[in-house]
Amino acid sequence: MTQEYFNYINGKWQVSRAGRTFEDLNPANKTDIIGRFPRSDASDVDAAVQAARVHYPRWHRVPAPRRAEIMFRAAEIMVRRKDELARAMTREMGKVLQEASGDVQEAIDMTYYIAGEGRRLFGQTTPSELPDKFAMSVRVPIGVAAAITPWNFPLAIPTWKLIPALVAGNTVVFKPAEDTPLMAQRLVEILLEAGLPEGVLNLVQGIGEEAGVALVAHPDVKVVSFTGSSETGREVAKVCAEHYKKVALEMGGKNPIIVMDDADLDLALEGAVWGAFGTTGQRCTATSRLIVHRAVRREFTDRFVERAQQLRLGDGLLPTTDVGPLINEAQLRRVHSYTEIARQEGAKILTGGYIYTEGDCAKGLFYAPTIFAEVTPDMRIAQEEIFGPCPAIMEVGSLEEAIDVANSTTYGLSSAIYTRDVNKAFIALRELEAGITYVNSSTIGAEVHLPFGGVKHTGNGHREGSQTVLDVFTEWKTLYIDYSGRLQKAQIDVG
């Protein structure tokens, strides 16, 4: 019998008000139904937001170190349940078990790290320009925060949003992706077990076009943190602008690895394979463009194709699997459509380019690792985010050309260069238009204590991770205390 799951609103687990549900399927085996979840609508969202609004005054008055201690206990629970959580994630989302374990570890790292901020949340003290006057700035919470998260990192990314929002003193309505509702349920359960009071965090499951849209537009939501596609993010930003909401967007990428003629090709190949095919290419930081110097292009391409053809597809719970499934039928069709676009544009398909149905993979949503060659910067496959295992190889003749090609898209999340020349490395660090740049490493590998995010159509200026994430979930408040006993008129008196 299929297990039923519920929303968590105002301290109670409950069905959707309309009684509708949706099924959560294992993408490696579509006959494996993980559970049935509430298909929430605007009425469920309103109940969750009202609960968060009611509980906000009490929660934001809890001292920040006490709020943070709950998060620390949550991290301890995740440590104890790491293997269990990783296996559940692989079954629900499809990524291989080792990667799922890394996702859980990232959630643990982020939760520990932000818990530490509960004893900091630093502001500034500064001398006043007037005598007998004290001046300082402090961070204050905003109110009800909406956290809208994607399916590709179903535990890590929610912790990037929920944990800093809660430590900062906001209450939260959490709307996870409909493809990974179970991992959201598990995270909420862990936070409740750690001692989070009722009503402070509310979970609303459902479809983005229904529950997500209602949450973004709700007038009592004061800040929205969204991770997803640039197209959806644009619509989120429009709604937030109409309602004067603070909004933080983390969106798409078309991330390049530059391979120079002096690169360590063994190292570059490792980085390219991991960046392009890790998580089946379903990362915003995935390597989707390989910009290779013509002096090494042939050798690099031949070896890269050989490595791609050796990758084993299958259920991520099996130790023999290198590449898991795509997340759903729509994404499988979308990825395959780009193979057809590549053919129409005149690119060459060196390997892959088809839906993989061999053996047990016939039960799932698998796509053969695919490599496009003879790609030019104006092609759609060089410009648009595919979100699948489909990197494009592009030939260049110099570092300057490589950087121009790398910067030629509307995205700017992650980037990398392989070179032994320190001068080339530093030029790339300066000139690549991206929020993240690696030297002699892949485009994947962000660490939680450093800012994460991008430029251009990848984001709207905010960053997740590090202390910078607190800028999303707090406002600055400046405080003046005048103990002179008389009215001082600032610049008027100074003049």
Given the residues 106, 117, 210, 250, select the one marked as catalytic.
Answer: 250
160 and 290 in one domain?
Answer: no
- Residues sharing a CB contact under 8 Å with residue 204, sequence separation 6 or more, in sequence order: 7, 9, 38, 40, 44, 45, 48, 173, 174, 175, 211, 215
- Distance (Å, rounded) from C-alpha 225 to C-alpha 173? 11
- Distance (Å, rounded) from C-alpha 113 to C-alpha 452? 14
Given the residues 99, 117, 240, 284, select the one marked as catalytic.
Answer: 284
275 and 199 in one domain?
Answer: no
* The pLDDT of residue 492: 86
104 and 22 in one domain?
Answer: yes
179 and 34 in one domain?
Answer: yes
* Within a domain: 1: no
190 and 85 in one domain?
Answer: yes
For 197, 268, 276, 449, 453, the CA distances from 121, given in Å and listed in that order, are: 21, 40, 37, 14, 21
Give the gyration radius of the chain's Cα atoms.
Answer: 24
76 is catalytic: no
pLDDT tens digits for 321-377? Answer: 999 999 999 999 999 999 999 999 999 999 999 999 999 999 999 999 999 999 999
Residue 400 lies in domain: 255-439
32 and 141 in one domain?
Answer: yes
Lay out the sheet containing 348-351: strands in order across. 348-351, 371-373, 392-396, 287-293, 255-259, 414-418, 436-439
How many domains does the chain contain in total? Answer: 2
- Residues sharing a CB contact under 8 Å with residue 54, sequence separation 6 or more, in sequence order: 10, 199
475 and 422 in one domain?
Answer: no
The torsion angles phi and psi of 367, rounded to 5 degrees, stand at -130, 130
- With a cut of 50, list the residues of the chain below it in pLDDT: none
* The pLDDT of residue 495: 65
71 and 201 in one domain?
Answer: yes
390 is catalytic: no
CATH number reported for the structural domain that contains residue 425 in this entry: 3.40.309.10
* The pLDDT of residue 490: 85
306 and 218 in one domain?
Answer: no
- How many Cβ atoms are within 10 Å of 495's Cβ, its own excluded? 6
- Distance (Å, rounded) from C-alpha 299 to C-alpha 310? 17
